[in-house]
Chains A and B, each alone.
Chain A
């Protein structure tokens, strides 16, 4: 059975996707000019690729406000 990856968006919402789809979400997050971060939900480590031990990721938007 194809492994599923749970994707949790820090801004709200979650879904279960295929490994390929999870990789696509990660790549899009980092190639998006607005930026963002992806973390392994189990270790809370920011990751730049999905290793075999990753079964849940968290996608965080970049935030920049301060004023």
Chain B
């Protein structure tokens, strides 16, 4: 049940067709896993908190640095040297005190990922490297947890939604394994892509609209273009295809 305050706070979205109080209650009951409290994580977590998601579990092992501040808008100059999850928690609690924040200061690894995502309804991919994205994608498929991918570089961003068992996964799309490295980025790019991820999460939880499944959305900020590429499930995908099913 929504309280009177919640009904007032979320009145403008409750008014949306297909949303209603039931939709808001679905958001309130949800526990969302956000992998990374950087640029994408700042943007997606902000709008998911504002929308009234019940619990956000944010996982990141980094500390705030000066060079983060052009894009990681949850972190401010006074937070330099603090943990990113602690900094994110304090801002998100101010933004919406009704949202429970589970701030987990850990590096996501093969050894702990299964435990980290336990009890979460979906995963937001706000990572900065492909190997960890692959780990998240794999655990999402194995545990049947929807996965919301986002990535950025410069003025370019990409997003895609994965519904395990139904749509193509990240590994159907990408086959390489780019090592971790510093990359150029303008702050507005993760803001745009993080908001697209948050939109997808809200739609999925409420059960409205058409999800970004089997499509890779490419945002080109320099030329201000959005392009969609159609993706097919790869029967030979090592995460969701026959080879993976054979291992079970």
Contacts and interface: CB of A to CB of B under 8 A. Distances in A.
Query: Are A and B co-members of a single complex?
Result: yes
Contact of B227 (A44, A65, A66): A44
- Interface centre among A35, A44, A46, by most B CB within 10 Å? A46
Contacts of A32: 176
Given A63-B153, A65-B183, A34 B230 contact: no
Interface in A19-40: 30, 32-37, 39
A65 B151 contact: yes
A62 B231 CA distance: 15
B216 interface: yes
B72 A45 contact: no
Interface in B50-102: 62, 68, 72
Contact of B176 (A10, A45, A62, A66): A62
- Interface centre among A34, A61, A62, by most B CB within 10 Å? A62
B25 interface: no
What does DSSP make chain B's interface, helix, strand, loop or mixed? mixed
A67 interface: yes
Contacts of A36: 176
A60 interface: yes
Contacts of A39: 229
A35 B39 CA distance: 23
B158 A63 contact: yes
A32 to B, nearest CB: 6
B4 interface: no
A64 B230 contact: no
A64 B151 contact: yes
Contacts of B227: 44
A37 B160 CA distance: 14
B4 to A, nearest CB: 38
A66 B229 contact: no
A66 B151 contact: yes
Interface of A: 10, 30, 32-37, 39, 43-46, 60-67
Given A37-B229, A45-B230, A64-B153, 19 more contacts: A10-B218, A35-B176, A39-B229, A43-B230, A44-B227, A45-B229, A46-B230, A46-B231, A61-B153, A62-B174, A62-B176, A63-B156, A64-B128, A65-B151, A65-B190, A66-B36, A66-B126, A67-B72, A67-B128
19 contacts: A32-B176, A33-B178, A43-B230, A44-B228, A44-B229, A46-B230, A61-B153, A62-B176, A63-B152, A64-B133, A65-B39, A66-B128, A66-B150, A66-B151, A66-B152, A66-B190, A67-B62, A67-B68, A67-B127
